[in-house]
Every structure is written in C-alpha cells, then in structure tokens.
Amino acid sequence: MTVVITAGFLIRIPDIAILEQSARNLFLHVPMWFTMMVMFLFSFYYSIRYLNDETLLWDTKAETATAVGLLFGICGLLTGSLWARFTWGAWWTFSEPRMNLSALSMLIFVAYFILRTAFNDPDKRAKISAIYNIFGVTTLPFLLYIIPRQLPSLHPGAEGNPAFSEITAPELRYIFYPAIVGFIGLAFWIKDIVQRYKALKVVTTDNL
C-alpha cells in the first residue's frame, strides 16, 4: 500500500511538465471524492454488519470510516472552492448543482456525528446511528451522481454526459488512476490507525 502511495506521488512529478495549468488539480480534487465515496460505502457495509450481529466493533468501524470519509469530503469541498475561484470566477455559486449537493451530503454526515453525541447508551447510539448511516449513504448516489447529471452544470459530466470521456487527454489518465489508488490507500491507512487506536482504548478502559 505504501508503495502504491509513493508511486502515485512520484509518477506525478515528471509528467506534470507536459500538462499545463490547473488541469493538474484532476489528480487531487477528483480522487478526494472517489475516496470519500469508498469510505462511505465501507461505513455502509459496517453499519449493516452491526445491525446483523450487534457487535460494537462494527459500530466503531462504521464511525471511523465515516470520519475519514468526511475528512476527504471536506478536502474535496475546499479544493473545489479554490479551483472554482480561478476558473469559474467565484468561490461558490448556487447555480452549480454538484457543488451544492455535495455540500448537502457533507451536512448529512456532519449530522451523523451530532446524532451520535445525543445518546449515552452505547447500544442505543450504535443502533440508531447505524440506521441513520444506511439512510445517509443511500442518498449519496442520488445527490452526487444522478441529479447533477440531469441538470446543466459547469462540472464535466452534466446533462447526461459521462464525466470522464474521450476528451480527457490520455496522459492525464496515467497519473489519475494511480492517484485514485494512492489516495484510497492513504484513506485506508488512516482508517486503520484510528481503528487500532479505538480498539486499544476500549481494552485499556475496560482494564481500569
């Protein structure tokens, strides 16, 4: 996994000289959303596993995956905002459906953490947040992939187009795909570290 991340960063450097301008943001901004989606799908899976056998381990795993996914989603929003200022001319536009709907889906997952703090009983908290998480992740494909494609948008992929088509230069792809793999690998690594920390914390607090 570390090799993949390192390669994702090293390959990027020589090829950048060919490409010009902020098109290079493709390697940074787009993988953020892919990574977020993968993390949320994993938390969706963990939530289902929790409801299946009601082991608290699955609940903490779902929480960790959602936290890391939200982290990458916030990165995606901030980078998108910066990129939009210099190519579209505004930090934020309300006529851009994908931008606003992704912000909305971020709010759904912020609400997930607010919901978690509302319960003191861990079993109750785990069950209700698992159900909420399943609902939240189910709305994601609609908010991020279906509705923006039906509406006119400044993003590529609007009005029924595929987002990644033959107009994308092939040089971009050689770096884009390793970048996706690299960022997803990085996300899994962070998730694993946080998960191990939480498991250790449970063990030590039980021993006290």
Partner 1 sequence: MNSSLAQDTASSAVDTLTQSYSGKWEGVEGVEQTSQFIQFMASYDLIFVVLGVSLIIWFVLLFYIIKVDKNVTKLEQTIHTTNES
Rounded distance, CA 109 to CA 133, Å? 8
Torsional class of 197: left (φ above 0), alpha (ψ -120 to 50), beta (otherwise): alpha
Q: Which of residues 136-195 bind partner 1 (CB under 8 A)?
A: 186, 190, 193-194
**Stretch touching partner 1 by CB under 8 A, among 131-139, 142-150, 171-179, 199-207:** 199-207
Q: Between residues 165 and 205, which has the closer beta carbon with respect to partner 1?
A: 205
Q: Between residues 28 and 163, which has the closer beta carbon with respect to partner 1?
A: 28
Tokens for 36, please give them.
């977020």
- Residues near 23 by beta carbon (within 8 Å), at least 6 away in sequence: 172
Polymer length in residues for the chain: 208
Q: Between residues 66 and 149, which has the closer beta carbon with respect to partner 1?
A: 66
Torsional class of 168: left (φ above 0), alpha (ψ -120 to 50), beta (otherwise): beta
Q: Position of tokens 């947040």?
A: 129
Q: Does 199 help bind partner 1 (rule: CB under 8 A)?
A: no
Q: Does 71 help bind partner 1 (rule: CB under 8 A)?
A: yes
Give the binding site for partner 1 (CB under 8 A): 20-22, 24-25, 28-29, 32, 71, 74-75, 78-79, 82-90, 186, 190, 193-194, 197, 200-201, 204, 207-208
